[in-house]
């Protein structure tokens, strides 16, 4: 799949923002006054910038409100609802922390739950697609949740929890890469099933339908950059999980350390999410003799 910058920024930053909001809603970090203003501002900033980025790849963003109508069937629509509800429910929590001086558990707990449900809905937009076998697996929601929880824990300055989650994230990344590599073959779609010509023999593309490229090939058959996949996998695990954990353990606890660890984590998260798209193979590639 084409790793469009808008969807990478969307999933990484909104995941981080909603993960952070979950910790704030649970009261695991309870800033007050000006601190609360800055910290809630940061969480909202990540979430809103992420959500805004998601509209950049739309062909007709002026109609984006229509995406709220089909929550009964569409994970994308559900994600729209849960993200807006989370931001609305958490707003009074933030205002109370800033002006009254303590967070509201009454709204904070539901807000935290909604924040995590939002991340889950985002992951299901991808995990639901049978056409992309690598995504169509439990590791997709697990990884999205692990990224949100790890990033949120680092931002919350909860060293022990953050380190533990970094370990879980690293394991999940390794498992995700390992299982992902065999998913396309396991799904069983081949040029023979795609064309139904397997009963005659082995199928190969003789001539593509056109000499140029097209939307389908640009969007779903992304071969460029897969050659760096092995190196990027190592980078993603190192930066998303290993180095932030080391930084939190070794460096003295301070805002600078947290900022440094988050920066490392984000580099890894962007590398992992880039690979998430670039390595994902869509079955339509079979009609073009490619994967």
Partner 1 sequence: MTELPPKSKKKLGLVIDLDICVGCHACVTSCKGWNTENYGVPLSDMDAYGADPSGTFLNRVHSFEVQPPAGPAQTIHFPKSCLHCEDAPCVTVCPTGASYKRAEDGIVLVNESACIGCGLCAWACPYGARELDQAAGVMKKCTLCVDRIYNQNLPEVDRVPACVRTCPANARHFGDLGDPDSAVSVMVAERGGMDLMPELGTKPINKYLPPRLKDRPAAKPVTAIADIEATGIAGWLDRLLEKF
Residues that bind partner 1 (CB under 8 A): 1, 57-61, 63-64, 66-70, 72-77, 80, 125, 128-132, 187-189, 191, 193-197, 199-210, 212-216, 219-220, 282-284, 287-288
The nearer residue to partner 1, 125 or 172, going by C-beta atoms, is: 125
Quote the least distance from Cβ 251 to partner 1, whole Å. Answer: 42
Pick the closest to residue 267 from 246, 247, 237, 245 (CA basis).
237
The nearer residue to partner 1, 45 or 182, going by C-beta atoms, is: 182
Q: Six-digit token pair at 38?
A: 């800055």
Quote the least distance from Cβ 126 to partner 1, whole Å. Answer: 9
Quote the least distance from Cβ 176 to partner 1, whole Å. Answer: 19
Each residue of 90-117: b (16+ CB within 10 Å) or e?
beebbebbbeeeebbeebbebbbbbbbb
DSSP 8-state class, residue 252: P
The nearer residue to partner 1, 38 or 205, going by C-beta atoms, is: 205
Pick the closest to residue 170 from 233, 250, 91 (CA basis).
233
Report the distance separating Cα 151 and Cα 173, nearest Å: 15
Quote the least distance from Cβ 221 to partner 1, whole Å. Answer: 10
The nearer residue to partner 1, 211 or 250, going by C-beta atoms, is: 211
Quote the least distance from Cβ 216 to partner 1, whole Å. Answer: 5
The nearer residue to partner 1, 7 or 90, going by C-beta atoms, is: 7
Extract long-range pairs of 184-188: CB within 8 Å, 24+ residues apart: 184/133, 184/134, 184/281, 184/291, 186/133, 187/130, 187/133, 187/136, 187/283
């Amino acid at each position: 799949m084409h790793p469009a910058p808008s969807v990478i920024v969307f999933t990484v930053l909104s995941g981080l923002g909603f993960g952070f909001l979950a910790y704030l809603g649970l009261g695991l970090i309870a800033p007050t006054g000006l601190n609360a203003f800055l910290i809630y501002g940061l969480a909202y900033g990540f979430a809103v910038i992420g959500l805004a980025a998601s509209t950049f790849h739309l062909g007709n963003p002026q109609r984006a409100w229509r995406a709220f109508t089909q929550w009964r069937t569409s994970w994308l629509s559900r994600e729209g609802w849960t993200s807006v509800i989370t931001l609305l429910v958490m707003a009074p929590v933030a205002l109370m922390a800033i002006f009254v001086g303590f967070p509201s558990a009454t709204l904070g707990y539901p807000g935290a739950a909604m924040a995590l449900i939002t991340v889950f809905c985002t992951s299901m937009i991808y995990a639901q697609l049978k056409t992309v076998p690598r995504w169509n697996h439990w590791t997709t929601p697990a990884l999205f949740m692990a990224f949100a929880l790890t990033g949120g824990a680092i931002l919350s300055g909860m060293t022990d929890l953050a380190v533990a989650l970094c370990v879980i994230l690293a394991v999940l990344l390794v498992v995700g890469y390992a299982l992902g590599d065999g998913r396309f073959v396991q799904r069983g779609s081949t040029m023979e099933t795609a064309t139904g010509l397997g009963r005659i023999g082995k199928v190969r593309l003789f001539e593509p339908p056109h000499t140029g490229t097209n939307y389908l090939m640009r969007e779903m058959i992304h071969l460029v950059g897969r050659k760096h996949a092995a190196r990027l996998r190592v980078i993603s695990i190192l930066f998303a999980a290993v180095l932030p954990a080391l930084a939190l353990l070794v460096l003295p606890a301070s805002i600078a350390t947290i900022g440094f660890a988050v920066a490392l984590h984000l580099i890894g998260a962007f590398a992992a999410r880039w690979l998430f798209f670039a390595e994902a193979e869509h079955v339509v590639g079979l009609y073009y003799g490619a994967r």
